[in-house]
């Protein structure tokens, strides 16, 4: 990755107060790939913005009303909603790079409120493309953050994310001055709403741990690996590419067993939740033939010939890329969780400062 990738760039992160957004901000502000001129967190939750702002302030500024001097700082906060076209268009002015992390991502919630998922995941993406097209904005790159569930979708969340991918990819035709690319990845370790924080909480409460089905497998990525995928796409993706990380996978039952250890905590099987898959798939059979290797990532080439041009797949994948292809055993799962400090022993007890044993 070019070390000066973000020098002088103005970056907008939609949904920037989420788990991914927080790590992304830390990495962008850390200067590993250059020194941005401005980073704007765009979201609709003022409380989350407030607490995130305080995290990045030090000294007397941390106690000030957060709105003061907001627009005089490198890290800025913008209240808005991707569902609202005018809000999006206003925030996109003078922006070089957009990272669209705003999403409705909880599978059961999207099943119960599918049109709400449409409004955020589909209409939000369309608002970004339409604002750039209508106002002739000089945005250089837009990255759509997608999910494995967009691949062979069986639930409302995946279906809306699949359409989001298509909107961004086709955006290369509508806005020829802007490069639209996507990233797609699976379960992120310890992200908000994922299974590991749920297991931690259930163990704290003495159990039981809830397993949907013993056969379920998931790719296991760290938040930093997810951010690596976004940064790699910004650095190297061609218009319409979808970047997919190569990641280890485990049985969720093994994850539970590792976290429980020798504690007297039982597990119960609850059955698959509405719209849930047994295995994650990040590249489908239909996409495999137009997939190429890009360093540590797979890149799915766009389907539209007007976007793809003369590029062709390399045949690096002969079949779909699934979490069931190569599954870590119990000890390998233990090593992975320990390496990333996700064992229960690593977490402070909420009832005191000591480690939970």
Catalytic machinery residues: 149
Q: Which H/E stretch holds residue 294? A: strand 291-294
Q: Give Cα separations from 100 to 121, 129, 160, 257 (angstroms).
A: 10, 11, 14, 35
* Rounded CA separation 301/233 (Å): 13
What is the three-class DSSP state of 139? coil
Task: Output the CA angle 265-277-99, nearest 5 degrees.
Answer: 100
* Rounded CA separation 276/353 (Å): 36
The alpha carbon of residue 16 and the mean position of all alpha carbons in its chain are separated, in whole angstroms, by 10
Task: Give the number of residues written for the chain.
Answer: 357
Q: Among 297, 24, 10, 299, which Cα is nearest to 140's?
A: 10
Q: Which H/E stretch holds residue 97? A: strand 97-100
* Rounded CA separation 29/211 (Å): 38
Handedness of CA 139, 147, 15, 25 (dihedral sign): negative
Q: Among 272, 278, 236, 257, which Cα is nearest to 344's?
A: 257
Beta-strand relationship, 297-300 and 242-245: antiparallel
* Rounded CA separation 43/101 (Å): 10
Query: Which backbone phi and psi does 145 adopt, to 5 degrees?
Result: -85, 110
Centre a 10 Å sphere on the Cβ of residue 343 and count the other Cβ atoms it contains: 16
């Amino acid at each position: 990755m070019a070390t000066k990738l973000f020098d002088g760039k103005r970056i907008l992160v939609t949904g920037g107060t989420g788990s991914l957004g927080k790590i992304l901000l830390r990495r962008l502000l850390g200067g590993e790939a250059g020194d941005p001129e401005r980073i704007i967190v765009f979201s609709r939750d003022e409380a989350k913005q407030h607490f995130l702002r305080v995290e990045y302030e030090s000294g007397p500024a941390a106690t000030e009303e957060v709105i003061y001097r907001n627009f005089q700082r490198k890290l800025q906060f913008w209240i808005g909603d991707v569902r609202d076209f005018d809000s999006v268009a206003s925030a996109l002015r003078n922006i070089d790079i957009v990272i669209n992390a705003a999403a409705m991502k909880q599978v059961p919630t999207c099943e119960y409120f599918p049109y709400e998922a449409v409004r955020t995941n589909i209409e939000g993406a369309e608002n970004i493309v339409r604002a750039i097209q209508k106002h002739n904005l000089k945005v250089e790159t837009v990255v759509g953050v997608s999910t494995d569930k967009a691949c062979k979708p069986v639930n409302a969340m995946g279906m809306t994310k699949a359409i989001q991918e298509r909107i961004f990819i086709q955006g290369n035709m509508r806005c020829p001055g802007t490069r639209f690319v996507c990233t797609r990845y699976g379960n992120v370790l310890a992200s908000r709403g994922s299974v590991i924080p749920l297991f931690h909480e259930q163990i704290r409460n003495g159990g039981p741990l809830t397993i949907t089905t013993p056969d379920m497998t998931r790719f296991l990525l760290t938040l930093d690996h997810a951010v690596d995928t976004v940064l790699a796409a910004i650095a190297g993706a061609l218009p319409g590419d979808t970047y997919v990380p190569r990641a280890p996978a485990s049985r969720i039952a093994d994850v539970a067993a590792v976290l429980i250890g020798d504690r007297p905590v039982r597990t119960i099987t609850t059955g698959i939740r509405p719209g849930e898959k047994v295995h994650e798939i990040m590249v489908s059979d239909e996409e495999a033939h137009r997939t190429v290797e890009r360093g540590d990532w797979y890149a799915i080439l766009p389907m539209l010939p007007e976007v793809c041009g003369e590029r062709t797949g390399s045949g690096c994948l002969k079949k779909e890329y699934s979490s069931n292809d190569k599954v870590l055993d119990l000890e390998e799962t233990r090593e992975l969780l320990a390496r990333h400090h996700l064992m229960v022993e690593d977490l402070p007890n909420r009832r005191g400062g000591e480690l939970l044993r």
